Amino acid sequence: MGQIELRGIPAAPGITIGKVHLLDSEELVVKKKRIPQSQLKKEAVRFEDALNKTRREIVEIKDKISVEMGREHGEIFSAHLLVLEDKVLIEEVKARLKKEKVVVEYIFLDVLKKYINAFSKIDDEYLKDRISDINDVGKRILRNLIGATHKILSDVGGEKVVVVAYDLSPSDTASMYKKDVIGIATDIGGRTSHTAIMAKSLEIPAVVGLETITKRANNGDMIVVDGNHGVIIINPTKQTLLKYKSDQKRFRRFDEGLVYLKDLPCQTLDGRRVELVANIELPEEVPSVLFHGAEGIGLYRTEFFYMNRRDLPTEEEHFQGYKKVAQDMAPRHTIVRTLDLGGDKFLSELEVPREMNPFLGWRAIRFCLARPDIFKTQLKAILRASAFGKLKIMYPMISGLNELRQANVILEEVKKELRASKISFDEDIAVGAMIEVPSAALTSDILAKEVDFFSIGTNDLIQYSLAVDRVNEKIAYLYEPAHPAVLRLVKTIIDNGHKEGIWVGMCGEMAGDPNLTLILLGLGLDEFSTPSIMLPEIKHIVRSVKMADAKLIAQEALMLPTGREVEAYARKKLLELVSETREGV
């Protein structure tokens, strides 16, 4: 078989070469077989046994991962356990068993498909993740019903492999932990998918959204994963293999060569100082943040406290999580983003309605203002933790001044309650707004008068500004961070912030794109908040140029008519001015 090249979405940087380990797509064949009335009770018992066995398997995985990777990672499997307790699903299977009198595995598979089909019609990134949970648990139940076995990586035999799959469920990634997995390639997925997040966390090169990789690759095939450019090569020729081995060595030398930057300031050749910080989701990520030389944390996402559980997190749970990060990062600062969930992303117990457009619905600060009881619990914990390190508060999805003022009123109420209880906190804690809605960008001159800082959330700002659903693969090509409209909004936000004497950072993916670093620097961005693994390269670029040159590049970029022209120009200038880049090594 000749060389096959496929292009997808770069999910985690790096180049790796190895043999394919194809995860079985596991299309379990279940035949429709009628049973007599006398066998119905036996089928019902068989179904209950399968549910119980599946529950034991998942609890075992959850406990194992909690020990090896931390309790927060283990909690991912709480969502799987919830599927097993779905009374509607279970009762529907039992009712149909009595009515239709066919083997229970056939009925269960049919009900499972109905659930998955219903979820798939709702275009929401969180629900797509829930499809993966339901599918994963469903397959486990089916395997236990029909006596099938499922081997994920048991036959690797110590050999380093590239895992190729249609998608990766939490169970799959759990099985990979501490295994010889050196690369990942999947048919589906995006930059913010579970696979991408896990790959970045484990620093494993990954490409997702390849569409047909599972149909084109076979077990044992040699494969190249270029996570920098989103390229996969199956059965590479000797010439191609030599090229990528050479590239791999150069990239490795490039990364290793940036280690010396860790303790150096992030400043241009002519002395312009910018802050370089990291994005995190879990306290366990702090060692990586410090290893890669971050000056602080620019975005501590707090949604994990609320996800994959049946109850609300307590104030003490919040407090312990924030306190640990504050102490571990001291004297560096940490910006805690308040709850940024809503719509279908919440617990059923909160009775949040299903929405036609979740991205535009009852979420983030809108939800918090409507549920001050939940909001106050989090704010109180953040304030308490501020006594143990340098914390800052950031509100997400602010769309106008009224929301900002309402949030601050609640914050002041919480401060008053803490003072009355004689509980210490940082009285001067900084409060900022995440600018990710066009209305906020266009009125940033007004908002800047009432906050201590701005952080630009480009993922949503781009989505809302360009009317592009960033999780819709059919229009992914329209999602352009370098679009002239986006650059103009970014400039407006930065200029308005500076006029009011506040600093302006950026915590979206755009901040971690080396090709856009010079433009953002030239626009006057004060802080870059990126995934930890991108910090050294961004610092290298900043330290390689003069601010005067970056300003000229930004001015020229603002005059270009299309995003593609901006990207091409930015890459050209990057290669001209920076001695070594990932793009040019």
Q: Tens digit of pLDDT for each residue in 427-452?
A: 999 999 999 999 999 999 999 999 99
pLDDT in tens, 379-417: 999 999 999 999 999 999 999 999 999 999 999 999 999
- Report the Cα 318 to chain-centroid distance in Å: 20
| Best CA proximity match to 298, nearest among 273, 320, 325 | 325
Q: Residue 181: what pLDDT?
A: 87
Q: How far apart are CA 75 and CA 314, in angstroms?
A: 16
| pLDDT for residue 338 is more than 60 | yes
Q: What is the mean pLDDT of the chain?
A: 85
Helix ranges (H only) for 154-262 are 170-176, 194-202, 213-216, 238-257
Domains and CATH numbers, the chain: 4-22+155-252 (3.50.30.10), 37-146 (1.10.274.10)
Lowest mean per-residue pLDDT among 18-32, 453-467, 522-536, 555-569:
18-32
What does the pLDDT read at residue 536? 93
Q: Best-predicted range by mean pLDDT among 188-192, 200-204, 212-216, 251-255?
A: 212-216
| Segment 490-531, tens digit of pLDDT | 999 999 999 999 999 999 889 989 999 999 999 999 999 998
Residue 355 scores a pLDDT above 80: no
Comparing 565 with 189, the larger pLDDT belongs to 565
Percentage of the chain surpassing pLDDT 90?
51
Calculate the alpha carbon distances from 11 to 191, 209, 394, 525, 542 in Å.
5, 9, 27, 25, 24
Q: What residues act catalytically?
A: 194, 507
The tens digit of pLDDT for each residue in 191-208 reads: 656 677 667 767 789 998
Look at residue 346 in the predicted model and tell me its pLDDT: 46
Q: Are 515 and 570 in contact (CB under 8 A)?
A: yes
- Check residue 409 and give its pLDDT: 98
Q: Give me the pLDDT at residue 140, please.
A: 83
Q: Give the pLDDT confidence score for residue 348 in this predicted structure.
A: 38
pLDDT, average across residues 241-248: 92
Q: Give the span between the Cα atoms of 144 and 203, in whole angstroms.
A: 34
Q: If we measure between CA atoms, which residue out of 211, 82, 203, 100 comes closest to residue 137?
A: 82
Mean pLDDT for 7-24 is 87
Structure tokens of 353?
């309605």
The model's pLDDT over 374-388, given as tens digits with 9 standing for 90+, comes to 999 999 999 999 999
Between these two residues, 370 and 78, which has the higher pLDDT value? Answer: 370
The structure tokens listed for 223 are 């494969």
On whether the CB atoms of residues 69 and 62 are closer than 8 A, the answer is no
Position 426 pLDDT exceeds 80: yes
Distance CA 181, CA 162 (A): 6
Q: Does the pLDDT at position 231 exceed 60? A: yes
Let me know the angle formed at the C-alpha of 298 by 292 and 302, rounded to the nearest 5 degrees.
Answer: 110
Check pLDDT > 60 for residue 162: yes
Edge-to-edge strand list for the sheet holding 9-12: 4-7, 231-234, 222-226, 15-22, 161-165, 181-186, 206-208, 9-12
**In the predicted model, is pLDDT for residue 345 greater than 50?**
no
pLDDT in tens, 271-310: 999 999 999 877 888 998 999 999 999 999 888 777 655 5
